[in-house]
Every structure is written in structure tokens, then in C-alpha cells.
Amino acid sequence: MQRQICIDVPANYPPVKSSYPVLYLHDAQNLFDPKQSYTGATWQITEAMQRLRETVGFEAIVVGIEHGGPRRVSELTPWPIEGLPGTPPPSEGAAYLRWIVEVVKPYIDANYPTKPECEHTAMIGSSLGGLLTHYAAHAQPGVFCKVGILSPSYWTSEQAYSFARQQPAPATVRVFMYAGGKESPRMVPDAQRMLRLMQTTRPAGSATTLVITPEAGHNEPAWAAAFPQAVRWLFELPADAAAAPTPLQSAPAHTPSPAAPAR
């Protein structure tokens, strides 16, 4: 497998610090440059990381992995898509994740001043990228101890729930989930269902949270707003006092979380 990767390094690079945490993100075409995004909008990653540096002193290396164009759906689905007419696309998500773990991450760790340990390594993705990130939390918990699951495409397969039930993510993995109230009618209920499942199957004391933004849609501006929230929560950074308050469902494992209305 060959993919172009886009690497965003801290402003003081070459490093003032000896090493940095690393964030692995999918769909790099939509992360940095509006000219590469098919919608003309991006996650504004460089700007978000600059603000994190200025407000709380957090610096990290961001690795954006470009999607495979016509192969994107196959590469980001760990399980066959259910309910589609005709022959569903092949599910190559497991192979794609292994490629990140066995090829991309070793390359980044060998060529950049990283903190390679699990507790300093995050994966964040949206939509199908959120689904693949959810899969990584359970399939590779020794590699990614921080996962940001934004607007996950749980609709693609019931196996997302059975896999989470049969192979719970250990307590060492922090899980940040996000859903917008103006996405598909299933988005919020599906995310709430997964939250309840993870709260009841993960070990006591596990950190799992769900943020629901009622007015947010399924698009880059919404994920641009959610990204710094995810990073702050995953790395236990102070909240951004300047940011607008966001409805938050946050609870340790085994503690009921209040339901937000589905839209």
C-alpha cells in the first residue's frame, strides 16, 4: 500500500523539546489545504495546533494520511457494509490499520522526534475514519491509547457493536466520541448506543466520553470545531475558556449518561 502522508510539526521545529506526542489522522486531503478538500473546507489542523500551543503549551506532531480515492470506503471499513444493494465493497480496514501500525508509525518514529509509547499516541478520524478509529481502539489498544471517534459510521455494520462487546478496549485507552445533532437521524442514537455499550463492557475506571453538538452537521467545519475538544480531552489539557460551551456527556465506565435528543 502506498499513500501520501502530510506531516504538521510544531512551530519551533527542529525541536526545542526532545520529543513530541503524535496524532494520526485519516483523510489528509481535508485536514490542511482548502484546495485539496473536495468541499473547499478543512479541519484547520495547523491553526488548531497553534492555538493549543499558545493557550496550554501543548505541542504534537500531526500525521495526516491521505485516503485512497475510490478505495477510501474499502480501506476505512473494518467489516463488510450491510444493507447495500448489489455487491458491497471489500472491507480492507484491518489491512489498512496494520499498514499504519507496521509501516507508517515505525517510519514516523524513526525519522521524527516522537514519544512512541501508547500513552503519547492518538488516532482521530471522522465518518468512516471515525469507524476505523473506533476499530483501532479495540484492535490495537497497545498502539493507540487515545482515540477520537468523530461522527462514526456505525450504520455500516452491526459488527461494530459486537466487536466492541467481545473485545473491549482496556482501561489504558481514552475514548472521545462526538456526534452532531444535524447529521443523519441515526448518528446521535447510534453514538449513544455505543457509549452505553462501552460503559458497560470496559473495565471500571475507563475514560469514555460523548460530546453531542445539536446544531452541527456532517462536515469539515463541525469536525474542525470538535478536533481541539478531542485533543484537550484525550491529553487531559485544560478546557478552552474562549470556546463556546458544548453539551457534554461524560462518565466513567458503568455510570449511566443522560440521553440527548436524537435529531
Residue 254 has pLDDT above 60, yes or no: no
Query: 37 falls in which pLDDT band (50, 70, 90)?
Result: confident
Residue 139 φ then ψ, to 5°: -85, -30
Q: Which domains does the chain show, CATH number per domain?
A: 5-252 (3.40.50.1820)
pLDDT digits (tens, 9 = 90+) for 93-110: 999 999 999 999 999 999
pLDDT digits (tens, 9 = 90+) for 70-97: 899 999 999 999 977 777 778 999 999 9
pLDDT of residue 241: 64
Query: What is the distance between the alpha carbons of residues 244 and 247, in angstroms, rounded to a whole number?
Result: 10
* Reported pTM: 0.90
Say which residues have a Cβ less than 8 Å from residue 15's Cβ, sequence separation at least 6.
113
Is residue 158 within 8 A of residue 191, CB to CB? The reply is no
The string of DSSP letters for 140-196 reads -TTT-SEEEEES--GGG-THHHHHHHHSPPPTT-EEEEEEETTS-TTHHHHHHHHHH
